[in-house]
């Protein structure tokens, strides 16, 4: 549990003082309506861009390990000099393949080392990266390639080749991009193709880039309608990466006393994964890549790579917690885990209250001893599952349940929440490292201002905010005003210290027939944090009460059957009707309802077979629910909730 002592020591050191100084603007009632944090990193005076980072690293510290690449089951170091050479070779190949300055290259792959090489190579050749999720359909590939005008398409697998070929078949030959495949040796093939291109051509193209040059056209995940291409510049990427590095890295490095490292498993078609790559290379943080976010596939990689911090989504932390619960129940210690869970939340609440100087009391001796006991029995097992060296994590994508955050805090892992969108180049807010506040998504990223509009919508302005949607002036004008304020579509509030809490999406707000406004996100986030819930959707627009459609998490069902000595192949149709399962789900619903008023609470729910997945079109690649698709798929079940 040393991480909490480390935080205290760091806070006492003047050279590690928290530099996230926030400026607040209040309305006439004293309510905070605007919060701004001054930038910690100014744009480079020499006009350099993120494209220059690999080459600056190679010049300043050629032998520094910047990446660890998994080969033959082992993590092999890649030095700054070696990485820059690979980037140069790939950039020369892209030039030989016809990439012109300002041209676009579509990149469709899971998270892997070659993605990072190619991203920087595209920039070094003067091009713009257009990410495509590896799970995209033929129709989605066709739309992004056609809309962006990409002339080169690099995919990962033979299956990707087939899907892309099907999607692009209808395009005229002149508009069809050349295609390269990573699993067929695309990076080596590019290096061979570009052997005759002089290094000076890469240097010249890289030097021609400015902070205003377009770095990437990053398409939104498209929960409704067709994805829109967010045009992000090198200046946007630098503002995001450099300011978060300046805020977080000195603290994390000093506290752990270890070389900072992280295993990146987020999809690199998602902007958060991209900015983590840039930030890590900028700070020379050792980075590894893992192609899967599925807990069963990710956990062995975490144990072998042993990162000091990770960046994930709430789903990951929810499943790690539930795995701990299931493991304890298998060995007959389910009650012990439940008590450890309760102790962790209480201890975290009271310890943080003292740490944040809200009161000087802190946890009682009995509570401290109990937390110490469960550290031996439970919490250390959680740390071991994450590699043993992990002390910090950053969670984004959706709110993390406060109780879950406190559980990990007591277990010795501080989770810092952040909030952002593709249009804000990932994080617009993040928890400052010496002032954790579970239940919020932190303060504005340095150099950023957050404003709450009169209707509660969160507005963002700063160097991280995009300039336009690709070839879509109408959509741009709908969200970006003349003063540079971006309307996020999210609802939120700032507390007295400028910390932001997200309360829901404007377009997702339900209005019951009684006129009550209900934000489904609060209920859904709490539901998903409890076993045996898989995915869920809260309904009730123009209805007399709030209901929910709930799926069960397959691993939780397997465990539930085993504990009760029921056949492992029991049909799901029987499981969802079993009164014991219904009662277990009711407990999760009761927990969710604790966060809202009775008028907003879930009165009825229905359990359904199957899952919400990307494959069946009910989730986006970034694991967001496609609400329209889900309500259409379960229209009958929803009507039955209301007696129709």
Same domain, 370 and 435: yes
Note the pLDDT of residue 363: 86
Same domain, 486 and 553: no
Note the pLDDT of residue 398: 73
CA angle, 490 then 496 then 500, to 5°: 25
Closest to 145 measured CA to CA, from 235, 136, 258: 136
CATH number, position 329: 2.30.38.10
Q: Does pLDDT of 224 surpass 60?
A: no
Domain encompassing residue 625: 509-641
Q: Measure the CA–CA gap between 484 and 467, rounded to whole angstroms.
A: 8
Question: Quick one: CA dihedral 352, 355, 360, 363, positive or negative?
Answer: positive
Same domain, 499 and 542: no
Q: Does pLDDT of 202 surpass 90?
A: yes
Other CB atoms closer than 10 Å to residue 289's CB: what's the count?
A: 23
Domain count of the chain? Answer: 2
Chain-centroid distance, C-alpha 565: 38
45 located within any domain: no
What residues contact residue 347 under an 8 Å CB cut-off, 6+ apart? 363, 367, 368, 370, 371, 410
Q: Does pLDDT of 621 surpass 80?
A: no
Helix or strand run (H / E) with residue 463: none
**Global pTM?**
0.83
Which one of 504, 525, 550 terminates a domain?
504
Q: Measure the CA–CA gap between 641 and 538, rounded to whole angstroms.
A: 12
Cis preceding-peptide flag for 532 (omega within 30 of 0): yes
| 267-304 pLDDT per residue, tens | 899 899 999 999 999 999 999 999 987 777 888 999 99
Which one of 440, 470, 504 terminates a domain?
504
Q: Does pLDDT of 7 surpass 70?
A: no
Confidence tier at 179 by pLDDT (50, 70, 90): very high
Same domain, 450 and 513: no
Confidence tier at 538 by pLDDT (50, 70, 90): very high
Note the pLDDT of residue 255: 59
81 located within any domain: no
Note the pLDDT of residue 433: 77
Confidence tier at 234 by pLDDT (50, 70, 90): very high
CATH number, position 558: 3.30.300.30
What residues contact residue 372 under an 8 Å CB cut-off, 6+ apart? 1
Residue 545 backbone dihedrals phi, psi, to 5 degrees: -155, 170
Which one of 482, 504, 526 terminates a domain?
504
Note the pLDDT of residue 252: 66
Confidence tier at 386 by pLDDT (50, 70, 90): confident
Mean pLDDT value across residues 155-175: 93
Higher confidence at residue 145 or residue 511? 145
| 430-459 pLDDT per residue, tens | 988 778 788 889 999 999 999 999 999 999
Higher confidence at residue 354 or residue 629? 629
Same domain, 391 and 409: yes
Q: Measure the CA–CA gap between 62 and 165, rounded to whole angstroms.
A: 41
581 neighbors 533 (Cβ within 8 angstroms): no
Question: Quick one: CA dihedral 493, 620, 531, 339, positive or negative?
Answer: negative
Same domain, 536 and 449: no
Same domain, 483 and 521: no
276 located within any domain: no
Q: Does pLDDT of 18 surpass 90?
A: no
Q: Does pLDDT of 12 surpass 70?
A: no
**Bridge partner residues of 452 (DSSP):** 458
Q: Measure the CA–CA gap between 577 and 581, rounded to whole angstroms.
A: 7
Note the pLDDT of residue 358: 55
542 located within any domain: yes
Confidence tier at 17 by pLDDT (50, 70, 90): low
196 located within any domain: no
Q: Measure the CA–CA gap between 378 and 336, rounded to whole angstroms.
A: 9
Confidence tier at 91 by pLDDT (50, 70, 90): very high
User: Where does residue 49 fall: left (phi above 0), alpha (psi -120 to 50 degrees), or beta otherwise?
Assistant: beta
Mean pLDDT value across residues 239-249: 90
279 located within any domain: no
Give a three-class secondary structure readout of 573-587: HHHCCCHHHHHHHHH
Chain-centroid distance, C-alpha 571: 34
Note the pLDDT of residue 66: 96
Same domain, 341 and 448: yes
Higher confidence at residue 523 or residue 123? 123
Q: Does pLDDT of 359 surpass 60?
A: no
Same domain, 441 and 528: no
CA angle, 485 then 489 then 491, to 5°: 100
Same domain, 580 and 630: yes
Confidence tier at 254 by pLDDT (50, 70, 90): low
Mean pLDDT value across residues 133-152: 92
Q: Does pLDDT of 210 surpass 90?
A: yes
Note the pLDDT of residue 516: 72
Same domain, 477 and 573: no
Query: Strand runs (DSSP E) across 176-321, as ranges?
Result: 178-181, 214-219, 229-233, 261-264, 286-289, 309-312
112 located within any domain: no
167 located within any domain: no
Helix boundaries (H) for 503-626: 520-528, 554-563, 572-575, 579-593
- Kindly report the average pLDDT of the chain as a whole number: 89
Cα dist. 39→23, 241, 445 in Å? 12, 12, 8
Closest to 623 measured CA to CA, from 223, 159, 134: 223
Same domain, 399 and 542: no
Helix or strand run (H / E) with residue 391: none
């Amino acid at each position: 549990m040393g991480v909490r002592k480390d935080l205290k020591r760091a806070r006492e050191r003047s050279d590690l003082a928290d530099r996230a100084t926030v400026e607040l603007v209040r309305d006439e009632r004293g309510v905070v309506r605007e919060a701004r944090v001054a930038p910690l990193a100014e744009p480079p005076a020499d006009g350099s861009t993120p494209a220059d980072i690999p080459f600056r690293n190679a010049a300043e510290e050629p032998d520094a390990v910047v990446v660890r690449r998994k080969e033959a089951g082992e993590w092999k170091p890649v030095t700054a000099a070696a990485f820059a050479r690979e980037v140069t070779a790939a950039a020369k190949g892209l030039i030989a393949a016809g990439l012109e300055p300002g041209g676009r290259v579509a990149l469709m792959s899971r998270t892997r080392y070659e993605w990072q090489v190619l991203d920087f190579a595209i920039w070094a050749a003067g091009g713009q990266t257009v990410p495509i999720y590896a799970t995209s359909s033929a129709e989605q590939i066709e739309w992004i390639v056609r809309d962006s005008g990409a002339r080169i398409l690099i995919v990962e697998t033979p299956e990707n080749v087939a899907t892309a070929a099907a999607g692009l078949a209808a395009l005229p030959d002149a508009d069809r991009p050349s295609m390269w495949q990573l699993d067929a040796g695309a990076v080596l093939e590019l290096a061979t193709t570009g052997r005759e291109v002089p290094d000076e051509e890469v240097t010249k193209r890289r030097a021609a880039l400015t902070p205003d040059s377009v770095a990437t056209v990053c398409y939104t995940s498209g929960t409704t309608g067709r994805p829109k291409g967010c045009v992000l510049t090198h200046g946007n990427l630098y503002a995001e990466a450099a300011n978060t590095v300046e805020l977080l890295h000195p603290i994390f490095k000093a506290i752990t006393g270890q070389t900072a490292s992280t295993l990146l498993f987020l999809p690199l078609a998602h902007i958060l994964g991209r900015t983590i790559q840039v930030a890590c290379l900028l700070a020379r943080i050792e980075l590894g890549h893992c192609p899967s976010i599925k807990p069963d596939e990710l956990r062995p990689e975490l144990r072998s790579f042993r990162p000091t911090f990770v960046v994930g989504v709430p789903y990951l932390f929810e499943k790690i917690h539930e795995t701990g619960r299931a493991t304890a129940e298998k060995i007959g210690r389910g009650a012990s885990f439940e008590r450890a869970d309760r102790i962790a939340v209480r201890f975290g609440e009271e310890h943080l209250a003292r740490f944040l100087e809200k009161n000087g009391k802190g946890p009682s001796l009995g509570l401290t001893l109990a937390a110490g006991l469960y550290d031996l029995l439970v919490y250390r097992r959680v740390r071991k599952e994450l590699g043993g060296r992990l002390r910090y994590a950053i969670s984004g994508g959706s709110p993390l349940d406060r109780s879950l955050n406190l559980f990990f805090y007591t277990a010795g892992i501080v989770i810092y929440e952040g909030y952002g969108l593709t249009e804000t180049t990932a994080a617009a807010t993040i928890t400052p490292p010496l002032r954790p506040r579970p239940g919020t998504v932190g303060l504005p990223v340095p150099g950023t201002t957050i404003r709450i509009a009169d209707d509660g919508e969160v507005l963002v302005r700063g160097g991280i905010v995009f300039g336009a949607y690709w070839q879509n002036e109408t959509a741009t004008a709908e969200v970006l005003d003349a003063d540079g304020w971006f309307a996020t579509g999210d609802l939120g509030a700032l507390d007295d210290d400028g910390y932001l809490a997200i309360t829901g999406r404007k377009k997702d707000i339900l209005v019951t027939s009684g006129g009550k406004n209900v934000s489904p996100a609060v209920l859904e986030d709490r539901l998903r944090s409890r076993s045996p819930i898989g995915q869920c959707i809260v309904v009730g627009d123009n209805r007399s009460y709030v209901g929910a459609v709930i799926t069960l998490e397959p691993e939780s069902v397997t465990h539930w059957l085993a504990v009760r000595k029921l056949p492992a192949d029991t049909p799901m149709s029987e499981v969802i009707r079993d009164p014991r399962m219904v009662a277990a789900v009711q407990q999760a619903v009761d927990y969710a309802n604790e966060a809202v008023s009775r008028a907003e609470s879930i009165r009825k729910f229905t359990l359904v077979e199957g899952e919400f997945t990307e494959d069946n079109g009910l989730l986006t690649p970034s694991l967001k629910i496609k609400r329209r698709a889900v309500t259409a798929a379960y229209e009958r079940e929803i009507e039955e909730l209301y007696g129709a």
